[in-house]
Structure 1
Amino acid sequence: TLQSGSFDWVTFGSSFNVMDRTEALKEAHRLLKGNGYFSCMWNHRDLNDPIQQKAENAILSIVPDYTRGVRREDQRPIIEAHKELFDNIIYIEEDFYFHQSLENYILAWQSVKNPYWDLETKEGQEIFDKITAKMREVLPQEFDIKYTTRCWSARKVG
């Protein structure tokens, strides 16, 4: 329902991976003014961080086949596959540390739609409860944790 050609920038923050990326690129192109920009970005947990390793192990102990999906993949190939829509791809990343409580960390996990534990189902809630119980066993009440923001941006063609 948004008007075509009415935006300078269209962004996807931690969401580009949960939709049909080709359709999302087409829609972003439609919405952008000439020479407008599209961006997709995520804050990734640093899997080498000791806190993250403990959290990851807690998850893997309950969900052994856990993977992170396309959000961790390089997004350049999907953008390049649509050179008729976008070019001049720019990639940037920046590390940062975030101080948070264990409860806020768990709430962050809870906020993510996850195929391994659908919180709208009884089974999914049970799996998530087991994971969070394990996290409460192994993680401190407060901690500094490392993340990396990764962002791909590209300019509209045409």
Structure 2
Amino acid sequence: MSHMKLSAIAPFSFCSKLINELRQILKNAKCDRSVSNFGPFVVMFTALVLLGIGRTMPWSLGVPMIDDNVKRKSLPAYFAGISFIRILGPIAGFLIGSFCNKLYYTHSPSPGLTAKDPTWIGAWWLGFLIVSILLIVPLHALFFFPSKPS
């Protein structure tokens, strides 16, 4: 049967009634199938909207706050620091991701399995754990700021 199916999807025609009928059945089956990309499109669109909202907050709210609360003389240094941190973030993310993907997801790969093997599964989730642990340290410094500006 698989030989006939391969013959039926060949681009050239055969002088066999059975193969031509099988070709028509396959053509009708493909046309009856409807595949929709609407669900993944909605998920990606929503994710990009939320990402856009999250990425604009530091610029639309953070920069004016710094402008209002920092002396004019030291303002360029603060703006440079913000820009540097925004550039440094993706670089650090790629480096941490590269390191984590070199580690096997169970920390003990099968013998002979290397990171260059297509069946390798890196510990991609480890990057999120590392970053969240690193963010807990500066989090405690936020408790020392006053709750209301004086």
Which structure would you say has the larger Rg?
A: 2
Q: Same fold (TM over 0.5)?
A: no
**Structure ranking higher on relative contact order (CA contacts 8 Å, 6+ apart):** 1
TM range (shorter): under 0.3
